């Protein structure tokens, strides 16, 4: 995991990616201090590549009113402050995920009711067909050819602003049921023109967007794609379709494929489990991408460095993206290095943090000598934390940082996603 890797001309110091995660915390599409701290802390935490959430190409292309955008110059300047911090304070690269919400737009923030329509201030969502994502979702308007052209230009403008903002990489979001993903899936795309029907036709509009963005994006910075490899619904796309979709994007110049799944239709029944999406990445890498010199990113319930090392050593993916693991521990990569006693360039601690780069000892030696003769020979009973968990020892007892007591005894099982 600490070996360098290249995505196109971009060389990353290690193979850990902070996965795109929607934060729903912007005002009028403008990222603020929260986003600076969120992404900046992950960059300081040692990951090779830090990805933004899905940054929306227009006001009506947002998922929620709290989503970020790149459709104004004010938004571009705010993103510039974040990329400047990452580049000046860390050796991480920072990537831009660009997308349009499509039929899943105009909804509440996740903690207010995920995928539920806004009670007020809503806008009309659009999709390839007038088919709702779920029974409680608004029915989207079937997008017209004129709107498709306008949205394509919005992607181009957002990509240009992203380049000006200093992003190192651009990922086109073609997963999770948003606009481009919904064109790819037969569950959401039932058009009877040249943009619907066969897989070749369903690929047409996402590839048109990709080609237009490629023209606008600097040629010396990678352009990548995120896909949903399985819709998890009968009659939807499967990994066999995903292999062909990846093949098409690679033929058009994609330099990495980020392999996710699902979230295309509310009827989905995914088979969750540890690293449950890695088999999809494995197939795409070894059937298509590896032979073309294209990197593949595995994502989904990958939580430990053992998982990451096993996936990469087995040749199932070139990089691993972790989302909730980085929410739990923004310094996940540096801590993984300390656990493995790795001290190379793939996990360089920021200078102000370098004093903490060694893992604290589990059991500190008991102090001895003058001044300590009055210490009790037996440890007093522990005091339980008010919220449960590991015990806290009385202050009078000499003990290394209490966090070390929580290390092995409290093993975190991440929620599936």
Residue given tokens 């409680």 in the structure block? 136
Angstrom distance (rounded) from CA 130 to CA 135:
13
Quote the pLDDT of residue 32: 98
| Whether 332 contacts 44, CB under 8 Å | no
Q: For residue 100, what are its two tokens?
A: 């349009």
pLDDT per residue, tens digit, the chain (417 aa), is 999 999 999 999 999 999 999 999 999 999 999 999 999 999 999 999 999 999 999 999 999 999 999 999 999 999 999 999 999 999 999 999 999 999 999 999 999 998 999 999 999 999 999 999 999 999 999 999 999 999 999 999 999 999 999 999 999 999 999 999 999 999 999 999 999 999 999 999 999 999 999 999 999 999 999 999 999 999 999 999 999 999 999 999 999 999 999 999 999 999 999 999 999 999 999 999 999 999 999 999 999 999 999 999 999 999 999 999 999 999 999 999 999 999 999 999 999 999 888 877 776 666 666 655 555 545 545 444 434 444 333 333 333 332 333 333 333 333 333
Angstrom distance (rounded) from CA 275 to CA 416:
10
Q: For residue 115, what are its two tokens?
A: 């995928």
Cα 22 to Cα 35, 101, 114, 323, distances in angstroms:
11, 12, 12, 10
The verdict on whether 178 is a catalytic residue reads yes
User: N- to C-terminal Cα distance for the chain?
Assistant: 22
Cα 363 to Cα 148, 382, 389, distances in angstroms:
63, 16, 18
5-349 CATH choice from 3.20.20.70, 3.90.320.10, 3.40.50.2000, 1.10.3720.10: 3.20.20.70
> Alpha helices, DSSP H only, in 289-394?
290-292, 305-313, 324-328, 332-339
The domain ranges of the chain are 5-349, 362-417
Choosing from 178, 195, 205, 305, the catalytic residue is: 178
């Amino acid at each position: 995991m600490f070996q360098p890797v290249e995505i196109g001309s971009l060389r990353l110091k290690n193979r850990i990616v902070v996965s795109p995660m929607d934060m729903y915390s912007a005002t009028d599409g403008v990222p603020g201090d929260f986003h600076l701290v969120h992404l900046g802390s992950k960059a300081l935490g040692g990951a090779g590549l830090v990805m933004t959430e899905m940054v929306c190409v227009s006001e009506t292309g947002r998922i929620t009113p709290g989503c970020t955008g790149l459709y104004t110059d004010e938004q571009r300047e705010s993103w510039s402050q974040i990329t400047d911090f990452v580049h000046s304070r860390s050796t991480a690269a920072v990537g831009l995920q660009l997308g349009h919400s499509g039929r899943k737009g105009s909804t509440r923030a996740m903690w207010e009711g995920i995928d539920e329509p806004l009670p007020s201030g809503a806008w009309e969502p659009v999709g390839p067909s007038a088919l709702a994502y779920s029974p409680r979702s608004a029915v989207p308007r079937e997008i017209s050819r004129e709107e498709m052209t306008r949205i394509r230009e919005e992607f181009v403008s957002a990509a240009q602003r992203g380049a000006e903002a200093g992003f190192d990489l651009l990922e086109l979001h073609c997963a999770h049921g948003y606009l481009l993903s919904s064109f790819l899936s037969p569950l959401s795309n039932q058009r009877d023109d040249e943009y619907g029907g066969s897989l070749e036709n369903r690929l047409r509009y996402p590839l048109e967007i990709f080609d237009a963005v490629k023209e606008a994006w600097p040629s010396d910075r990678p352009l990548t794609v995120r896909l949903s490899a399985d819709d998890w619904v009968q009659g939807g796309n499967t990994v066999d379709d995903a292999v062909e979709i990846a093949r098409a994007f690679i033929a058009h110049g994609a330099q990495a494929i980020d392999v996710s799944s699902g979230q295309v239709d509310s009827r989905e029944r995914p088979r969750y489990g540890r690293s449950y999406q890695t088999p999809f990445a494995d197939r795409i890498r070894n059937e298509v991408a590896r032979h073309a010199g294209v990197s593949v990113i595995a994502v989904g319930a990958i939580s430990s460095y053992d998982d990451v090392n096993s996936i990469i050593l087995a040749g199932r993916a070139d990089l691993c993206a972790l989302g909730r693991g980085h929410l739990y521990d923004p310094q996940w990569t540096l801590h993984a290095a300390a656990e493995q006693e790795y001290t190379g360039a793939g996990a360089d601690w920021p200078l102000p943090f370098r004093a903490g780069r060694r893992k604290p000892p589990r059991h500190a030696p008991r102090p001895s000598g003058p001044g300590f003769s009055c210490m009790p020979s037996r440890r007093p009973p522990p005091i339980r934390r008010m919220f449960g968990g590991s015990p806290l020892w009385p202050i009078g007892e000499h003990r290394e940082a209490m966090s070390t007591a929580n290390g092995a005894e409290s093993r975190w099982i991440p929620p599936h996603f």
